[in-house]
Amino acid sequence: MCASALAQSPLEQAVKLAREKRFAEAAKLLEGIQEPAPLPQRIAFHRLRAAIDSGLGENVAAANEMRAALELSPADSNLLLATAVAESQAGFLDDAVNHARQVHNAPTAESVLGDIEERRGDYSKAVEAYQSAVALDPAKEEYRSKLAFVWIEHQNFRPAIDLLEQSSPLFPHSAKIRTLLGIANYAEGEIQEAENALADAITVDSTLQAAYECLAEIVLQSSAAPSERIVQSLCKWNDLVCSALDLRVARENGDTKLARQAIARLKIAPPNNALGRCELARGLEWAGQLEEARGEMETCVKLDPLPQNHYRLALLYSKLGLKDLAREQLQLRSEILQKMSEQTALGLSALQALGHHPN
């Protein structure tokens, strides 16, 4: 009977609602409820309110609730880290660093510290923290992924590749490790290795959309038909990508019927779909329909102004005898490449498919 009454209490109901991510309802239940007297319950009360505030996007309120909980047990390492995370989300980065640093020789603390340092824009300190997390717990995939991610994000590809190649056999079921490896390989200019790593990622986890997106982005930069393994994987995933691959297979085999079918499918793609427009332009150009290809390629560049798309448009303008327009596109490409290489541009673009920190 006592347990039944407890289950019906507003606090218990609020906990249940928060776990179900029904934060507004949970917050409503807590209105007017006094803070419990016993210390453990008081800490749990503030943590619950912090979780609800965070779920509602009230990050400052969540940080303040965690600070209130921490005041009740200032040496508690779990509270220190939870407070640091809440403060980081609220933008109180110096306070977050100070709290995270109070937890010593703990890989979780180093990982949290790395996250915070990244938010502060201190790349070198973020790397140091993630490296410490890996050293303290080398069997944790998350820490390796974070370290590789930040290296790739800051265009330091070789150490990322070395770490990920070392990590792949340790985590045979990790598609994320292999996806990151593929991105790093490509950004370093190792195209075949990139394709193999991403195909392996899909084999390991056929549901990881990022692996498909990255692989498609890489193979479609080439005019050559990819391996049958890659064609099969990507055709099962996306019809539009499959049509683009069919263009390459048709060109390689001299199959005009398949080329016409692929072009027809690409023509019905949504007008604001960059892949559809870029690949339709390529197919029309290969079919000798240069004026129609020009219009599609101009739209492609507007939708996806990567350096290689400017270059392709420049080549098309040259074929049409539009020398001034071709030079203009090459200049735009050059300006982009002064900031980063084509592989880096594509690698960083593909990296966005994983989101920040692939945990």
Q: In tens digits, what is the pLDDT along the chain, a chain of 359 residues? A: 344 434 458 888 888 999 999 999 999 988 878 888 899 999 999 999 999 999 999 999 999 999 999 999 999 999 999 999 999 999 999 999 999 999 999 999 999 999 999 999 999 999 999 999 999 999 999 999 999 999 998 889 999 999 999 999 999 999 999 999 999 998 888 999 999 999 999 999 999 998 998 899 889 988 899 999 999 999 999 999 999 999 999 999 999 999 999 999 999 999 999 999 999 999 999 999 999 999 999 999 999 998 889 999 999 999 999 999 999 999 999 988 877 666 666 666 666 666 544 44
**Distance, CA of 110 to chain centre:** 21
- Residue 105 zone, left/alpha/beta (φ > 0; ψ -120 to 50; rest): left
Rounded Cα distance, 262 and 222, in Å: 17
> What's the pLDDT score for residue 12?
85
Q: Which residues contact 205 (CB under 8 A, 6 or more apart)?
A: 173, 175, 211
Q: How many CA atoms does the CB half-sphere of 155 hold within 13 Å?
A: 11
Cα separation, 111 vs 144, whole angstroms? 10
Contact 175, 354 (CB under 8 A): no
Structure tokens at 251: 């060109």
Please report where in the chains the tokens 């982005």 appear, as a residue: 217
> pLDDT value at position 6?
40
Provide the angle, in degrees to the nearest 10, between the axes of the packed helices 107-120 and 123-136: 170
Q: Which residues contact 107 (CB under 8 A, 6 or more apart)?
A: 132, 133, 134, 136, 137, 140, 143
- Say which residue the tokens 């332009």 belong to: 281
Give Cα separations from 235 to 183, 231, 240, 268, 296 (angstroms): 21, 6, 8, 17, 23
Token digits of residue 301: 């560049």
Give me the pLDDT at residue 157, please.
92
How long, in residues, is the chain?
359
pLDDT at 4: 42
Alpha carbon distance 262, 250 (integer Å): 9
CA gap 307, 313 in Å, rounded: 10
Q: Which structure tokens are listed for 109?
A: 């603390």
The per-residue pLDDT for 297 is 97
Q: What does DSSP assign to residue 76?
A: -
- Buried residues in 242-269 as b, exposed as e (16+ CB within 10 A): bbbbbbbbbbeeeeeeebeebbebbeeb
Instruction: Name the CATH superfamily, with its identifier, for domain 9-103.
Output: Tetratricopeptide repeat domain (1.25.40.10)
